[in-house]
Protein backbone atom coordinates (compact mmCIF):
# COMPACT_ATOMS: atom_id res chain seq x y z
CA UNK A 1 0.00 0.00 0.00
CA UNK A 2 1.25 3.45 -0.86
CA UNK A 3 1.84 5.71 2.11
CA UNK A 4 0.29 9.12 1.61
CA UNK A 5 -0.26 12.27 3.60
CA UNK A 6 -3.81 12.87 4.83
CA UNK A 7 -5.40 16.26 5.41
CA UNK A 8 -8.69 17.46 6.81
CA UNK A 9 -10.35 20.72 5.93
CA UNK A 10 -10.59 22.83 9.07
CA UNK A 11 -11.60 26.41 9.61
CA UNK A 12 -9.02 29.07 10.35
CA UNK A 13 -10.79 29.75 13.64
CA UNK A 14 -10.57 26.11 14.77
CA UNK A 15 -6.92 25.91 13.76
CA UNK A 16 -6.19 29.07 15.74
CA UNK A 17 -7.90 27.54 18.78
CA UNK A 18 -5.80 24.39 18.49
CA UNK A 19 -2.59 26.38 18.12
CA UNK A 20 -3.37 28.48 21.17
CA UNK A 21 -4.21 25.39 23.22
CA UNK A 22 -0.91 23.75 22.23
CA UNK A 23 0.92 26.97 23.10
CA UNK A 24 -0.60 27.03 26.57
CA UNK A 25 0.28 23.38 27.09
CA UNK A 26 3.89 24.07 26.11
CA UNK A 27 4.01 26.92 28.62
CA UNK A 28 2.88 24.56 31.39
CA UNK A 29 5.55 22.04 30.35
CA UNK A 30 8.31 24.64 30.65
CA UNK A 31 7.02 25.92 34.00
CA UNK A 32 6.75 22.53 35.66
CA UNK A 33 10.08 21.22 34.36
CA UNK A 34 11.96 24.41 35.25
CA UNK A 35 10.67 24.19 38.82
CA UNK A 36 11.32 20.46 39.10
CA UNK A 37 14.87 20.86 37.78
CA UNK A 38 14.71 17.53 35.99
CA UNK A 39 12.65 15.84 33.32
CA UNK A 40 12.23 15.64 29.57
CA UNK A 41 11.26 18.84 27.76
CA UNK A 42 12.20 17.99 24.16
CA UNK A 43 9.71 15.24 23.44
CA UNK A 44 7.03 16.84 25.61
CA UNK A 45 7.09 20.03 23.54
CA UNK A 46 7.36 18.08 20.30
CA UNK A 47 4.18 16.09 20.97
CA UNK A 48 2.02 19.02 22.13
CA UNK A 49 0.23 19.32 18.79
CA UNK A 50 -0.56 15.59 18.64
CA UNK A 51 -2.01 15.63 22.16
CA UNK A 52 -3.99 18.77 21.37
CA UNK A 53 -5.63 17.17 18.35
CA UNK A 54 -6.42 14.01 20.29
CA UNK A 55 -8.10 15.71 23.23
CA UNK A 56 -9.53 18.83 21.57
CA UNK A 57 -10.17 17.40 18.11
CA UNK A 58 -12.93 15.08 19.26
CA UNK A 59 -11.03 11.80 18.93
CA UNK A 60 -11.08 10.68 22.56
CA UNK A 61 -14.30 9.81 24.37
CA UNK A 62 -13.61 10.63 28.01
CA UNK A 63 -15.11 12.09 31.14
CA UNK A 64 -12.78 14.00 33.49
CA UNK A 65 -15.40 13.79 36.24
CA UNK A 66 -15.45 10.01 35.88
CA UNK A 67 -11.94 8.89 34.83
CA UNK A 68 -12.92 5.20 35.09
CA UNK A 69 -15.96 5.56 32.82
CA UNK A 70 -16.30 2.12 31.24
CA UNK A 71 -17.08 3.40 27.74
CA UNK A 72 -14.10 5.74 27.51
CA UNK A 73 -11.41 5.54 24.85
CA UNK A 74 -7.88 4.86 26.03
CA UNK A 75 -4.75 6.94 25.50
CA UNK A 76 -1.55 5.19 26.55
CA UNK A 77 1.75 7.09 26.62
CA UNK A 78 4.25 4.29 26.07
CA UNK A 79 7.30 6.56 26.15
CA UNK A 80 6.34 7.65 29.64
CA UNK A 81 9.27 10.02 30.14
CA UNK A 82 7.46 12.73 28.13
CA UNK A 83 4.63 12.70 30.69
CA UNK A 84 4.81 16.48 31.34
CA UNK A 85 2.76 17.06 28.19
CA UNK A 86 0.25 14.41 29.27
CA UNK A 87 -0.03 16.01 32.71
CA UNK A 88 -0.56 19.44 31.16
CA UNK A 89 -3.36 18.02 29.00
CA UNK A 90 -5.07 16.22 31.87
CA UNK A 91 -4.96 19.33 34.07
CA UNK A 92 -6.35 21.49 31.26
CA UNK A 93 -9.16 18.99 30.63
CA UNK A 94 -10.08 18.99 34.33
CA UNK A 95 -8.84 15.64 35.61
CA UNK A 96 -7.04 17.32 38.51
CA UNK A 97 -6.20 20.84 39.75
CA UNK A 98 -3.57 22.86 37.89
CA UNK A 99 -1.78 23.26 41.22
CA UNK A 100 -0.60 19.68 40.96
CA UNK A 101 1.63 20.65 38.04
CA UNK A 102 3.90 22.71 40.27
CA UNK A 103 4.72 19.61 42.35
CA UNK A 104 6.05 17.55 39.44
CA UNK A 105 8.67 14.98 40.53
CA UNK A 106 8.44 15.93 44.21
CA UNK A 107 8.41 13.18 46.87
CA UNK A 108 4.86 12.01 47.49
CA UNK A 109 3.38 14.16 44.71
CA UNK A 110 0.64 12.91 42.40
CA UNK A 111 2.73 13.67 39.31
CA UNK A 112 5.92 11.67 39.12
CA UNK A 113 8.65 11.45 36.48
CA UNK A 114 6.80 8.63 34.75
CA UNK A 115 3.02 8.14 34.64
CA UNK A 116 1.51 6.14 37.51
CA UNK A 117 -2.06 4.95 37.05
CA UNK A 118 -2.60 4.55 40.80
CA UNK A 119 -1.60 8.15 41.55
CA UNK A 120 -2.85 10.26 38.64
CA UNK A 121 -6.45 10.45 37.35
CA UNK A 122 -6.58 10.05 33.57
CA UNK A 123 -3.44 7.92 33.32
CA UNK A 124 -4.45 4.59 31.82
CA UNK A 125 -1.23 2.66 32.37
CA UNK A 126 1.96 3.06 34.40
CA UNK A 127 4.70 3.39 31.80
CA UNK A 128 8.36 4.22 31.55
CA UNK A 129 9.96 0.86 30.82
CA UNK A 130 10.22 1.38 27.09
CA UNK A 131 8.23 -1.00 24.94
CA UNK A 132 5.82 -2.10 27.64
CA UNK A 133 3.18 0.58 27.12
CA UNK A 134 2.36 -0.32 23.54
CA UNK A 135 1.89 -3.96 24.59
CA UNK A 136 -0.51 -2.98 27.37
CA UNK A 137 -2.39 -0.71 24.98
CA UNK A 138 -2.91 -3.56 22.53
CA UNK A 139 -4.20 -5.74 25.36
CA UNK A 140 -6.75 -3.02 26.16
CA UNK A 141 -7.83 -2.81 22.53
CA UNK A 142 -8.35 -6.56 22.22
CA UNK A 143 -10.20 -6.77 25.55
CA UNK A 144 -12.50 -3.89 24.66
CA UNK A 145 -13.27 -5.41 21.27
CA UNK A 146 -14.06 -8.75 22.86
CA UNK A 147 -16.48 -7.01 25.22
CA UNK A 148 -18.27 -5.55 22.23
CA UNK A 149 -17.56 -1.92 23.07
CA UNK A 150 -16.71 0.61 20.33
CA UNK A 151 -13.59 1.71 22.21
CA UNK A 152 -10.55 3.08 20.39
CA UNK A 153 -7.09 2.78 21.91
CA UNK A 154 -4.35 5.24 21.01
CA UNK A 155 -0.77 4.21 21.81
CA UNK A 156 1.81 6.99 21.65
CA UNK A 157 5.29 5.63 21.08
CA UNK A 158 8.75 7.18 20.82
CA UNK A 159 10.88 6.34 17.79
CA UNK A 160 13.88 5.49 19.97
CA UNK A 161 11.58 3.14 21.86
CA UNK A 162 11.32 1.03 18.71
CA UNK A 163 14.86 -0.20 19.32
CA UNK A 164 13.23 -2.48 21.91
CA UNK A 165 11.85 -5.82 20.77
CA UNK A 166 8.53 -5.63 22.63
CA UNK A 167 6.81 -3.11 20.33
CA UNK A 168 7.42 -5.32 17.33
CA UNK A 169 5.86 -8.30 19.08
CA UNK A 170 2.83 -6.11 19.79
CA UNK A 171 2.71 -4.91 16.18
CA UNK A 172 2.77 -8.49 14.93
CA UNK A 173 -0.06 -9.46 17.29
CA UNK A 174 -2.12 -6.36 16.43
CA UNK A 175 -2.01 -7.29 12.76
CA UNK A 176 -2.71 -10.97 13.40
CA UNK A 177 -5.81 -10.17 15.43
CA UNK A 178 -6.92 -7.41 13.02
CA UNK A 179 -7.13 -4.85 15.82
CA UNK A 180 -8.71 -2.02 13.85
CA UNK A 181 -9.56 -0.23 17.11
CA UNK A 182 -5.84 0.17 17.81
CA UNK A 183 -3.79 3.11 16.53
CA UNK A 184 -0.08 3.60 17.11
CA UNK A 185 1.26 7.16 16.82
CA UNK A 186 5.04 7.20 16.48
CA UNK A 187 6.81 10.37 17.58
CA UNK A 188 9.31 10.45 14.71
CA UNK A 189 11.65 13.20 15.88
CA UNK A 190 14.81 11.19 15.05
CA UNK A 191 16.27 11.98 18.47
CA UNK A 192 17.08 10.03 21.60
CA UNK A 193 19.33 10.50 24.60
CA UNK A 194 22.53 9.39 22.84
CA UNK A 195 22.03 11.11 19.49
CA UNK A 196 19.90 10.65 16.40
CA UNK A 197 18.03 7.39 16.01
CA UNK A 198 19.64 6.83 12.64
CA UNK A 199 23.10 7.03 14.20
CA UNK A 200 22.25 4.90 17.24
CA UNK A 201 20.10 2.24 15.52
CA UNK A 202 18.61 2.97 12.13
CA UNK A 203 14.83 2.58 11.84
CA UNK A 204 14.36 3.39 8.18
CA UNK A 205 12.45 2.55 6.10
CA UNK A 206 10.05 2.77 9.04
CA UNK A 207 6.89 3.12 6.97
CA UNK A 208 7.70 0.01 4.94
CA UNK A 209 8.41 -1.93 8.13
CA UNK A 210 5.05 -0.98 9.62
CA UNK A 211 3.32 -1.90 6.38
CA UNK A 212 5.11 -5.25 6.37
CA UNK A 213 3.79 -5.83 9.90
CA UNK A 214 0.26 -5.36 8.56
CA UNK A 215 -0.52 -1.77 9.56
CA UNK A 216 -2.41 0.82 7.58
CA UNK A 217 0.40 3.36 7.62
CA UNK A 218 0.32 7.15 7.28
CA UNK A 219 3.15 9.68 7.35
CA UNK A 220 2.28 13.19 8.50
CA UNK A 221 3.78 16.45 9.65
CA UNK A 222 3.26 16.23 13.41
CA UNK A 223 2.79 20.00 13.64
CA UNK A 224 0.29 20.40 10.79
CA UNK A 225 -3.19 20.30 12.31
CA UNK A 226 -5.01 19.45 9.08
CA UNK A 227 -2.72 16.47 8.53
CA UNK A 228 -2.91 15.31 12.15
CA UNK A 229 -6.70 15.47 12.28
CA UNK A 230 -7.03 13.84 8.86
CA UNK A 231 -4.82 10.93 9.86
CA UNK A 232 -6.67 10.43 13.14
CA UNK A 233 -9.99 10.40 11.34
CA UNK A 234 -8.68 7.87 8.82
CA UNK A 235 -7.46 5.69 11.68
CA UNK A 236 -10.95 5.69 13.19
CA UNK A 237 -12.44 4.78 9.80
CA UNK A 238 -10.02 1.94 8.97
CA UNK A 239 -11.41 -1.58 9.22
CA UNK A 240 -9.69 -4.96 9.29
CA UNK A 241 -6.26 -3.81 10.39
CA UNK A 242 -4.54 -1.52 12.92
CA UNK A 243 -3.26 1.91 11.92
CA UNK A 244 0.15 3.47 12.38
CA UNK A 245 0.59 7.23 12.15
CA UNK A 246 4.23 8.24 11.75
CA UNK A 247 4.27 11.84 12.96
CA UNK A 248 7.36 13.77 11.98
CA UNK A 249 7.97 16.15 14.86
CA UNK A 250 10.63 18.56 16.04
CA UNK A 251 12.07 17.99 19.49
CA UNK A 252 11.58 21.11 21.62
CA UNK A 253 9.04 22.58 19.19
CA UNK A 254 8.24 26.20 19.99
CA UNK A 255 11.51 26.98 21.78
CA UNK A 256 14.26 28.13 19.43
CA UNK A 257 17.32 26.92 21.30
CA UNK A 258 15.79 23.49 21.84
CA UNK A 259 14.74 23.11 18.22
CA UNK A 260 18.28 23.93 17.12
CA UNK A 261 19.97 21.42 19.45
CA UNK A 262 17.64 18.45 18.99
CA UNK A 263 18.53 15.44 21.09
CA UNK A 264 20.54 17.50 23.62
CA UNK A 265 17.22 18.55 25.18
CA UNK A 266 15.89 15.02 25.44
CA UNK A 267 16.38 14.92 29.20
CA UNK A 268 17.85 18.29 30.20
CA UNK A 269 15.75 21.03 31.77
CA UNK A 270 16.36 24.75 31.18
CA UNK A 271 17.89 26.91 33.89
CA UNK A 272 16.07 30.02 35.13
CA UNK A 273 17.39 32.27 32.34
CA UNK A 274 16.62 29.82 29.55
CA UNK A 275 13.21 29.05 31.03
CA UNK A 276 12.35 32.76 30.89
CA UNK A 277 13.49 32.90 27.27
CA UNK A 278 11.34 29.87 26.44
CA UNK A 279 8.28 31.36 28.15
CA UNK A 280 8.79 34.64 26.31
CA UNK A 281 9.01 32.85 22.97
CA UNK A 282 5.79 31.00 23.79
CA UNK A 283 4.04 34.23 24.70
CA UNK A 284 3.59 33.49 28.38
71 in a structural domain: yes
Q: Is residue 175 situated within a structural domain?
A: yes
Closest by CA position to 232, among listed 216, 241, 245? 245
- Give residue 2's pLDDT: 43
DSSP code, position 221: E
Give the pLDDT confidence score for residue 164 in this predicted structure: 93
Q: Could you tell me which of 217, 188, 178 has the C-alpha nearest to residue 79?
A: 188
DSSP H helix total and E strand total for the chain: 11, 5
Tell me what pLDDT residue 145 has. 96
Kindly state whether residue 195 falls inside one of the protein's structural domains. Answer: yes
Residue 77 forms part of a structural domain: yes
DSSP-assigned letter for residue 158: E
pLDDT per residue over 20-52, tens digit each? 999 999 999 999 999 999 999 999 999 999 999
- Let me know if residue 6 belongs to a domain: no
| Domain containing residue 149: CATH number | 3.40.50.970
Rounded distance between C-alpha atoms, residue 235 and residue 8, angstroms: 13
pLDDT of residue 195: 87
Q: Is residue 3 part of a domain?
A: no
Question: 243: helix, coil or strand?
Answer: strand
d(CA 81, CA 114): 5
Contact 21, 237 (CB under 8 A): no
153 part of a folded domain: yes
Spatial distance between the Cα atoms of 79 and 158, rounded to a whole number of angstroms: 6
Domain that holds residue 132: 12-281
**pTM (global) more than 0.85:** yes
Residues of the chain with pLDDT under 70: 1-6
Total domains present in the chain: 1
Residue 78: its pLDDT value, please? 97
pLDDT value, residue 8: 84
Helix (H) or strand (E) holding 217: strand 216-221
Phi, psi of 175 (to 5 degrees): -70, -45
> Does 2 fall in a domain?
no
Beta bridge partners of 156: 77, 185
Amino acid sequence: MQVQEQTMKITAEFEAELKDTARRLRIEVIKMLAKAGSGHPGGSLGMADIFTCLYWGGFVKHDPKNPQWEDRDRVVLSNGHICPILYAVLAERGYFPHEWLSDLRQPGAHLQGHPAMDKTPGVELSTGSLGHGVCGALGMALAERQSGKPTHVWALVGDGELEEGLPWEAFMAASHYKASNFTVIIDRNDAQIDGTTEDVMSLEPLDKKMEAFGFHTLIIDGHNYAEILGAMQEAKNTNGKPTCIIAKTIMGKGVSYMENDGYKWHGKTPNEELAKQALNELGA
